[in-house]
Every structure is written in structure tokens, then in C-alpha cells.
């Protein structure tokens, strides 16, 4: 699924795989700090969530809030 603000485009996408969930922040390089996984497509950065890894919820929520305030991607 993709998430965005009405009239602003998409700011986040979620891809589910067998071993992890990949969260794509389409303007990820603009986030502070930037999510850790690079992308081949310019400004996008990824965050991978594995079942047994600890999730820094405060950081994740911060990324989502920051991303929601940036211009989205039109797809």
C-alpha cells in the first residue's frame, strides 16, 4: 500500500516480503536523520523491519510525521 495526503501525492510505501517489511520514504533524503537503506531512485530511502529486531518507535513515528509534511510523489 501507499500512503499520502489528499492532493499532495504519496509520501510512503510499504512492501511485505517473507523475511521483512520494507518501508519506502519517497523523500527520504530530506528526513532527519535519513532512513538507513539507500535506493537506486534518487531521493527515496528505505527502512527494513524484521520480526525479531527491536523497533525504535519514536524514530519511526518521527520519519512518518516528517514525510507527511513534504511534497509527495505522483505515481
Q: Using one digit for the tens of pLDDT, what is the confidence trace for 20-50?
A: 999 999 999 999 999 999 999 889 999 999 9
Which one, of 9, 5, 38, lies nearest residue 24 by Cα?
38
CA of 73: how far to CAs of 19, 30, 51, 62, in Å?
A: 27, 13, 29, 19
The predicted-structure confidence for 47-71, as pLDDT tens digits, reads as follows 999 999 999 999 999 999 999 999 9
Break the chain into its structural domains and give their ranges.
Answer: 2-68
Looking at per-residue confidence, does 46 or 8 come out higher? 46
In whole angstroms, what is the distance from residue 17 CA to residue 37 CA?
Answer: 16
Amino acid at each position: 500500500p501507499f500512503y499520502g495526503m489528499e492532493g499532495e501525492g504519496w509520501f510512503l510505501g510499504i512492501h511485505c516480503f517473507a523475511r521483512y517489511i520494507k518501508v519506502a520514504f519517497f523523500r527520504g533524503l530530506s528526513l532527519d536523520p535519513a532512513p538507513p537503506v539507500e535506493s537506486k531512485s534518487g531521493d527515496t530511502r528505505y527502512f527494513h523491519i524484521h520480526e525479531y529486531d527491536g523497533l525504535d518507535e519514536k524514530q519511526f513515528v518521527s520519519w512518518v510525521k516528517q514525510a507527511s509534511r513534504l511534497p509527495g510523489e505522483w505515481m
